[in-house]
A and B are shown apart, each in its own frame.
Chain A
């Protein structure tokens, strides 16, 4: 599966006319580089772009399994080094935002379902539709503008200048937290909204089912009925979402928002590599996304089986 996906991905990146060097050539020309043509010929030889696509794919994938992911054209550095630098931050950020989103979304969803059409539900619904409708990058720009022009704080990136290159210390952690609130806020607004809607919908459906009524009829406490009986059933789709969508996002999260916020994560790298046809970099990230999706599905299935006896029996 991974091999198939990596091959198709390689081909698709190859499909548009030209290659990375066509893009590079235009960059060089744009600044008026008279030696552009020659420089491109040098690059072509260096990156062996004159060879047929199958040969290049084979070379790449055989090295890949040995842990050598090739060289990025744009950075002129090994892909491993570039992704390695950013992988940790990507994972931290993704996990943090997943944690925030889930801690917010489930209780809000439950509240909103159990208090259907109340004032609280209306407010939550309105907000979540706003969150759903507003693209993350737009929200990011608005928050940035607000933070810069009104709050007068430094934004962009995850660290202040003096901490970027510094070793880890208490000060650096505090600095990270100072910067982290913006990406966290944005991903919680956009991410929470959809989960709230799903949670609310599922729970409403479950709450109307006979076994819930039966539980109530047995005289169980309202909260116990909701949390122990209904939520446990209604949460199944969310588990699937968590494992199949959230896990891959650890690799290359919300690339657009990260680009706008200038975060040193893998997402923006991936987008840029796709645009500029930086084959090996894009291909490597893609393979990892697929890998995470597959692992995620597996974990999802196992988790569902653990949570829900009905699935286990089948």
Chain B
């Protein structure tokens, strides 16, 4: 293919990307590995939304946009201004007409099932919002209520922006309303072609676009010759020509291959901090390094969710619920009981036995690297949160349980419900994040609880969908978990119960369902209850234009977790995460968080400026 000179390929408003260490040399193939067909770990390397996470994860900056979005005074209208002159990878200009095509011909089109209106694109009554496309570079969104969070949603992971990246000129060839076959047949074909990660030659806006794909074996991505970023000397990025991704399903083999130095650089191979010593041993022979500064971002790993909405029937009927279930729910909601559960946990032992000392003993928080806690005051709040009830003290645990009325009524040495009925605490062991870690952890915690007189039953849900279904529907008492998140306004779940069944509920599944469905389903939180207070704070935050003030609202929510909770109990956290790069692989930032996927890591560190010195 004959390309025009590079000056003509670059847009009017180029984005200048600072390099981490050095101006690079062009060329090479970046070999990488994934463990599942969807290759989400690789898509994270291609992260390139309009608003993006900063490389240091302290907040957001414009990407495809020339400046951060602006709000009308009432907060209901958001205006996005794109860089002028950006082109798709086949040279056709990218304009708001592409977004218009996505919105009108795909998302709003009832006949086309594969693309629908995104969750943030709806008014409070559920109708789609209004969009305007006044010129080629301006995109205006009208909401019926003030909405200060939505632009940051587009910056999360690869899955929020990617569905909007629709090259109209390419897809019109298959769309029944344009040049495609008419009717059902046409939509089926459109659906098959409209998968940028499976259709070679699909025009994209990222640094590399798909060139070859062999299902179940490999993908080859090729440098986008019209990419819109340059380095400080004006060289067009990316430096690297190709990315080749292999699918290796078996985790042990993948680890062996990485240890052998088979891949140029890998950020996410579904590995564990426990791999670090083994990788370190092989680093010299494999000519690679473990890039320092990359953390899991775990606020609790492992942790325990205490279900505040405990019940036992999928079709919940308060009239039919047994007294015993009600009593158990009251106990699980009791602050003193929760404090007892926390004091009973021997965190140092979890750290030593489960982790071999990697990480630190702390109570549940969100990611320590979260921008909500960067300020001095924020650090204080965070520290208090991480340390609250984190001490190991069987005596304090016993005292707290006694105070909650959770005592041994019949003298058999085992604590019973306040009414005197015998009680078995059921702890769900699941594969959330890492089944091996969870398995070892529940062994320790079970012993801890038995030491203070609690009878524990472990419900092993590893490898079944039951665990997830039960968690989503609130049909569990305690469940193992891995907690990490940076931005609670785009991803509220860990703290704010505002989402429902099927969306990864946490400690308040039914009350979250109530908020999400606007009161149609789920349970109404009692006035003044933790769930009610937290939901109120979230509502307040969405209407709050100031980032500072929004952070303060998060701190208020944390206060509720400390004073009325802890609803989630953490054992250890803040483990590092292995990132394995060859010694010739340059410009990799020595900082990042890989646990939560929302922050777009490592895409936020500009992989287009990585290069290979060989």
In Å, the complex CA distance between A30 and B160 comes to 15
Q: Contacts A32-B485, A260-B253; is A165 near B212 (CB within 8 Å)?
A: yes
Chain A residues contacting B499 (CB-CB under 8 Å) are 34
In Å, the complex CA distance between A29 and B598 comes to 11
Q: Contacts A154-B260, A262-B253; is A32 near B157 (CB within 8 Å)?
A: yes
Q: How far is the CB of B512 from chain A (nearest CB, A)?
A: 12
CB <8 Å contact, A34 and B153: yes
Is B319 an interface residue, CB under 8 A from the partner? no
Interface string of B204-229 (1 = CB under 8 A from A): 00000000101111101000000000
CB <8 Å contact, B503 and A37: yes
Chain A residues contacting B114 (CB-CB under 8 Å) are 42, 45-46
In Å, the complex CA distance between A23 and B256 comes to 27
- The B412-437 residues at the A interface (CB cut-off 8 A) are 432-433
In Å, the complex CA distance between A37 and B468 comes to 14
Is A164 an interface residue, CB under 8 A from the partner? yes
Is A261 an interface residue, CB under 8 A from the partner? yes
Is B383 an interface residue, CB under 8 A from the partner? no
CB <8 Å contact, B119 and A34: yes
Q: Contacts A26-B468, A85-B215; is A32 near B253 (CB within 8 Å)?
A: no
CB <8 Å contact, B216 and A82: yes
Is A36 an interface residue, CB under 8 A from the partner? yes
Q: How far is the CB of B56 from chain A (nearest CB, A)?
A: 20
CB <8 Å contact, A77 and B253: no
Q: How far is the CB of A193 from chain B (nearest CB, A)?
A: 24
Chain A residues contacting B159 (CB-CB under 8 Å) are 28, 31, 33, 35, 39
Is A18 an interface residue, CB under 8 A from the partner? yes
Most chain A C-beta atoms within 10 Å of own C-beta, residue among B113, B153, B433: B113
Interchain CB contact (< 8 A) of B116 among A38, A74, A152: A38
Is B477 an interface residue, CB under 8 A from the partner? no
Interface segment, B244-252, B356-364, B584-592?
B244-252
CB <8 Å contact, B198 and A77: yes
Chain B residues contacting A152 (CB-CB under 8 Å) are 260
Interface of A is mostly: helix
Q: Contacts A26-B465, A46-B114; is A81 near B491 (CB within 8 Å)?
A: no
Chain A residues contacting B433 (CB-CB under 8 Å) are 30
CB <8 Å contact, B157 and A31: yes
Is A259 an interface residue, CB under 8 A from the partner? yes
CB <8 Å contact, A86 and B31: no
Q: How far is the CB of A212 from chain B (nearest CB, A)?
A: 49
Chain A residues contacting B244 (CB-CB under 8 Å) are 161
CB <8 Å contact, B502 and A75: no
Chain B residues contacting A36 (CB-CB under 8 Å) are 502-504
Q: How far is the CB of B478 from chain A (nearest CB, A)?
A: 19
Q: How large is the interface on A (under 10, 10 to 19, 20 to 34, 35 or more residues)?
A: 35 or more
Is B387 an interface residue, CB under 8 A from the partner? no
CB <8 Å contact, A32 and B248: no
Interface string of A1-38 (1 = CB under 8 A from B): 00000000000000011100011011111111111111
Q: Closest residue to A41 on the B side, CB-wise?
A: B116
In Å, the complex CA distance between A157 and B220 comes to 17
Chain B residues contacting A272 (CB-CB under 8 Å) are 249
Q: How far is the CB of A164 from chain B (nearest CB, A)?
A: 7
CB <8 Å contact, B465 and A23: yes
In Å, the complex CA distance between A10 and B127 comes to 39
Is B262 an interface residue, CB under 8 A from the partner? yes
In Å, the complex CA distance between A154 and B257 comes to 8
Is B118 an interface residue, CB under 8 A from the partner? yes
Interface segment, A106-114, A123-131, A141-149, A194-202?
A141-149
Is A40 an interface residue, CB under 8 A from the partner? yes
CB <8 Å contact, B597 and A32: yes
Q: Contacts A17-B466, A76-B195, A77-B215; is A32 near B116 (CB within 8 Å)?
A: no
CB <8 Å contact, B253 and A144: yes
Interface string of B496-510 (1 = CB under 8 A from A): 000100111000000
Chain B residues contacting A35 (CB-CB under 8 Å) are 118-119, 159-160, 163
Is B391 an interface residue, CB under 8 A from the partner? no
In Å, the complex CA distance between A77 and B597 comes to 26
Chain B residues contacting A26 (CB-CB under 8 Å) are 465, 468
CB <8 Å contact, A40 and B502: yes
Is B37 an interface residue, CB under 8 A from the partner? yes
Is B603 an interface residue, CB under 8 A from the partner? no
CB <8 Å contact, B260 and A16: no
Chain B residues contacting A85 (CB-CB under 8 Å) are 214-217
Chain B residues contacting A165 (CB-CB under 8 Å) are 212, 214, 218, 220
Q: How far is the CB of A191 from chain B (nearest CB, A)?
A: 21
Interchain CB contact (< 8 A) of A45 among B113, B212, B215, B248: B113
CB <8 Å contact, B198 and A76: yes
Q: Closest residue to B116 on the A side, CB-wise?
A: A42
Chain B residues contacting A25 (CB-CB under 8 Å) are 468, 502
Is B156 an interface residue, CB under 8 A from the partner? yes
Chain A residues contacting B191 (CB-CB under 8 Å) are 46
Listed A/B pairs (9) with beta-carbon separation below 8 Å:
A18-B465, A27-B38, A28-B159, A31-B157, A32-B598, A82-B215, A148-B256, A148-B260, A260-B250
Interface residues of chain B, those whose CB is within 8 Å of chain A, are 31, 36-38, 40, 113-116, 118-119, 153, 156-157, 159-160, 163, 191, 195, 198, 212, 214-218, 220, 244, 246, 248-250, 252-253, 256-257, 259-260, 262, 432-433, 465-466, 468-469, 485, 490-491, 499, 502-504, 596-598
Interface residues of chain A, those whose CB is within 8 Å of chain B, are 16-18, 22-23, 25-42, 45-46, 72, 74-77, 81-82, 85-86, 141, 144-145, 148, 152, 154-157, 161, 164-165, 259-262, 264, 268-269, 272
